Structure 1
């Protein structure tokens, strides 16, 4: 955390995400249980706008 409080870390991340959203791309978040479950992650991606390819 480099000497920052939890509040500062969270607010810095929120501002960073807001800057990404302002650029136009979609921003999605997932947690470890989704990332570790191939089926759950496979369902999450299309719902987040990631196109499926074969």
Structure 2
């Protein structure tokens, strides 16, 4: 756990990286996003029927 905090403690302006899926550039490129958003999209597309 200590090693995870090294960047935060010793780098000026250091902060933990976001662990949220929507903040990941690679996943954005692949069209993968938060399960809550995917669920909302699926529910909206099913309302049309």
User: What range describes the TM-score normalised by the shorter chain of this pair?
Assistant: 0.3 to 0.5
TM-score by length of 1: 0.32
Which of 1 and 2 has greater Rg? Answer: 2
Structure number with higher helix proportion: 2
TM-score by length of 2: 0.35
